[in-house]
Structure 1
Amino acid sequence: MTDLKLEQLKYPIGQFECPSPITKADIKNWITVLEQFPIRFEALVKHLTKEQLDTVYRPGGWTVRQVVHHVSDSHHHSYTRFKWALTEDKPLIKAYNEADWAELSDSKNDPIQMSLEHIKAIHYKLVNLLKQLTEKDLKKCFIHPETNSEVVLSYNVGNYAWHSNHHYAHIENLLKRKGWL
């Protein structure tokens, strides 16, 4: 497989490109993505068989099951990071090793329904929170320890809207390639 083809499988919608400046319309559009994502995501994966769930979306990548559990874990962390940034002054957040978490038995073996329900709950809470944020709130930030950089909340809204669509596309493209969609 060529490097270009692998890159397209890794980033089917491209990498996140944040507009500058971020407008109110951008925030509103990203919140809409986050609000609609849980239902779209569940509809995409809920009818898959065990074999389909245990198929990798690209060579060297995670299985569909691992992706679903990863989205649940990742978006839970994101919600917590928003809350920290809103209640502390530039908090240093705790990073986690996504690859190692995806190799844990719950990510590799457990039913996806628990993560789908968690995604619905965490997005309900996240979207409710985001709709209440002021422009001042959106300028608050946290410090990410891996890059030692400030992550502004307005950016993080867009990044997680992108992250939702990114993993949706991983699975959707696999289903199309396999003729399962």
Structure 2
Amino acid sequence: MDLETLKYPIGRFVTPQSASAQQRTRLINDIRQLPTLVEIAVQNLDEHQLQTPYRPDGWTIAQVVHHLVDSHMNALTRFKLALTEYNPVIKPYDEAAWAALPDVSNTPVNVSITLLHALHTRWSNLLEALTDEQYERTFVHPESKQTFKLWQTLASYSWHGLHHLTHIVNLKESKGW
């Protein structure tokens, strides 16, 4: 498998032109189901397997699981900021630096999976309650200087979860685990 496919096993994210209520329901279901799918994907892996990178110079499976929690905690915060402030500027974070922090290396993945379940329950409950108008709310990302609507962000994080889940599943398949 080439490096691009290893990095982006489901392809690079492409922002959709719109998201109907039916499309948003599918995306919300992706968010709601991700913790269970991740839990199933890692449930029988031993410590050596969890410490295996999904690609050369990539994160380990454990780092991917912990990253999903870190990233999606930030995502929920971005949604809440956009819902309670007018076009707020969000706070970016250094994903690689977060993945290298001691809580990632010293915490079992089941702790992050438990947190992922709780986080995604809260997030999905919020997402299901939003109106069409609320999905049009925005925030600004200061690094890209772009403004994002919440429905675009929902699509992005649906993709993000499936993207990292596929990293885990593909590594397991390639290793015969």
Does the pair score TM above 0.5? yes
Does 2:102 match 1:105?
Answer: yes
SS in 2 for 1:150: strand
The one of 60, 65, 69 equivalent to 1:68 is 65
Deviations 1:26-67 (A, max 9, x none): 111100111111111101112210000000000000000100
Aligned to 2:128: 131
Q: State the TM-score, normalizing by the size of structure 2.
A: 0.97
Partner Cα separation in structure 1 for residue 88 and residue 31 of structure 2: 24
**1:143 partner letter:** V
The one of 100, 111, 114 equivalent to 1:114 is 111
For structure 2, the 5+ residue unaligned runs are: none
For structure 1, the 5+ residue unaligned runs are: none
Q: State the TM-score, normalizing by the size of structure 1.
A: 0.95
Post-superposition shift, 1:18?
2.5
**1:37 partner letter:** L
Aligned to 2:151: 154
Deviations 1:3-35 (A, max 9, x none): x81010000000112321222221111001111
The sequence identity of aligned pairs, in percent, is: 44
Does 2:8 match 1:6?
Answer: no
**1:121 partner letter:** A
Partner Cα separation in structure 2 for residue 136 and residue 118 of structure 1: 30
Does 2:28 match 1:34?
Answer: no
> Runs of 4 or more off by more than 3 Å in structure 1?
none
Q: Let me know the Cα RMSD of the aligned residues.
A: 1.0
Paired residue total: 177
Post-superposition shift, 1:108?
2.4
Deviations 1:139-178 (A, max 9, x none): 0011111111111100011111100100000010000000
SS in 2 for 1:151: strand
